[in-house]
Amino acid sequence: MTTLYGIKNCDSVKKAKKWLEQENITYQFHDFRSDGFNAELLAELLTYTDLTALLNKRSTTFRNLADDVKNNLTDEVITENILAQPTLIKRPLLKHKQALLVGFKESQYQQALI
């Protein structure tokens, strides 16, 4: 099963969805806002990558974090903040077989899926 994680109004998620549909690749979409995000899902994602790869330091949500949080990015702090605000996660995430792609790059998607 191929699962695309993100939020529906994210431009990168829209690009990934469009590409998957153009390539006739069946996938399930999991919206962090409407479908939820919890510690179990985060733990599952972390079997494929690490916290620093998931953290989107370019996001508006990250920029709006308090300076003491941004200057103390331990695994515990990152985990706590990602669980509270899933929009801190780089998007989209594409889980396919035993791999997780972070962000959308057409060449990576093509290599992993075709």
- Sketch out the chain's domains with CATH numbers: 2-14+22-113 (3.40.30.10)
Neighbouring-strand partners of residue 5 = 30, 93
CA distance 76 to 107: 33
> For residue 91, what are the contacts with CB-CB under 8 A and spacing of at least 6?
5, 6, 7, 10, 12, 13, 56, 103
pTM over 0.75: yes
pLDDT at 84: 95
- Per-residue model confidence (pLDDT) at position 9: 94
Residue of 10, 16, 93, 102 marked catalytic = 10
The number of angstroms, rounded, from the C-alpha of 33 to the middle of its chain's C-alpha atoms is: 12
pLDDT averaged per 10 residues, the chain (length 114): 95 97 97 96 95 94 95 95 96 95 96 90
Task: Establish whether 38 is a catalytic residue.
Answer: no
